[in-house]
Structure 1
C-alpha cells in the first residue's frame, strides 16, 4: 500500500462488517457505529443516491473490498439473484472513484467457477470480464504482477 498515495483521500470499504479505514461502508447487514467517521449505506440506498443526485459519484480516492464482490448476485447475503451481480458491483465502484482513484479488490483466483451460492472464482475467462479490459496490478501472496486484463 505504500506505493499508492492515499493520504488525505476519502475512501470506501465495501462489504466490511469491521471497518478499518473508511468513512462510509456499504454492506447488506446493517452496521451500527457511534464513531463519527464511520457511516453505513445499504447497497440499494447507495444506488438510489447515485441515480438520484450523484452525491457520491467520483468522490472517493480509493475503494477497498476484500471477499465481497465475488458474492454479489448469488443471494447468500440477502441480495437478489443476478448472474452478473459481481460485474454490476464493480461498475458501482468505478462510479464512486475519482479520476485516477484506486480500487483494491480481493477476490478468489484459480480456475473459473461458481460455488453456488457461496462465491465465484476468477480465472482466465471471468477476471478480464470483471475488470473490463483495464490495466491492473495483481498481487498474489508476495508477488506483484502487472497484468493487462484482455
Structure 2
C-alpha cells in the first residue's frame, strides 16, 4: 500500500512543485502540456494522465551537481587509488560513493541506519559513530565524509548531544591503527550550529578534535564550488560554507 501511494500520480505531481524551484516548475507547465500534445499526435501509444510523471526543472544548460559530495568522492577515490589499502572502512558517508569505492577495494560500511544490500566486496554493519564496533587501533584505512557535523543533533534519530561531534572524533581516533590513514570531510567556515541540520567548523577546531593524529594534507571546496587541492587550512578563513577535506595519519607507536 505504501509503495502504491509513493507511485501515485498525486505524489508525482506534488513532487514536481516541492522545493526551491516552485516558480520555475510553474512556469514550465505550459511547455509541458504543449509537448504532451505534440507527443500524442506523433505516437501510437497515447499518454495517460494516470501514468504522467512531470519533471519540470531538469531542462538546464549544464549538469547540476552538489560540489561538496562530488569533489569529496573524487578526492577519496583518488587517495585510495594512491594508497592501495587491502581493505577500507567507512563510517556513514554517501552510499552512492561507497558502492563505487567497493569496486576497487574491500569495503566495510558502518551506519546508524544499516544498509541492507548485497554487493560483492561490500559489507555493511549497524553501528553508532560514538560507539564503533571495532577494537582499538584495528583499522588501517578509514573515512567519514560529511557525517561528523550531524552527530548529536537528532536529525537521523541519534540522541541529542552538544558534544556529539567531539565524542565521534574520539571514537574515530580510537579505532585507527598507528600508521593508519583517516579521511574526513566536514563543513568549514564561520563556526556555528544550524540546528538540527549540521554544524560548521573552523579548520582549527577540527584539528583540535584529533590531537592524536597528524594532518598530512588539506583540500577545500570553497563557496564558489571550486575544488582547491592541497592548500593550507587557512584557505578556509574567509569561507562561509565550504567543505574541508582532511587527510590525517596516526603516529606509529
TM score, norm. by length of structure 2: 0.49
Distance 2:213 2:129 in 1: 28
* Cα distance, 1:32 vs structure 2: 1.1
Q: 1:63 aligns with which of 142, 151, 176?
A: 142
Specify which structure has the higher proportion of helix. 2
Work out the CA distance in 2 between the residues paired with 1:90 and 1:27. 15
Given that residues 6 and 61 in structure 1 are in contact (C-alpha distance below 8 angstroms), is that contact kept between their aligned partners in structure 2? no
**Contact (CA 8 Å) 1:64, 1:105: kept in 2 or not?**
yes
- Cα distance, 1:133 vs. partner? 7.2
Specify which of 113, 117, 123 is matched with residue 202 of structure 2. 123
**Contact 2:129–2:171 at 8 Å: present in 1 too?**
no
1-side partners of 2:79 and 2:203: how far apart? 29
C-alpha distance after superposition, 1:9-44 (max 9, x if no partner): 311111133323352111122211112422222224
Tell me which protein shows more strand as a share of its residues.
Answer: 1
Aligned counterpart, 1:112:
191
- Comparing both chains, which one has the higher relative contact order based on Cα–Cα distances under 8 Å and sequence gaps of 6 or more? 1
In structure 2, C-alpha distance between the alignment counterparts of 1:28 and 1:7, rounded to whole Å = 27
Residue 145 of structure 1 is matched in structure 2 by 231
CA change 1:93–1:45 in 2 (3 A) is: closer
Between Structure 1 and Structure 2, whose CA radius of gyration is higher? 2
Is residue 31 of structure 1 aligned with residue 115 of structure 2? yes
Structure 1 unmatched runs, 5+: none
**Structural mapping, 1:67-82, within 5 Å:** 67-82=146-161
Please report the TM-score for the alignment, with normalisation by the length of structure 1. 0.78
Consecutive unaligned residues of structure 2, counting only runs of 5 or more, are 1-77, 221-226, 235-253
Q: 1:4 to 1:31 in 2, by over 3 A?
A: closer
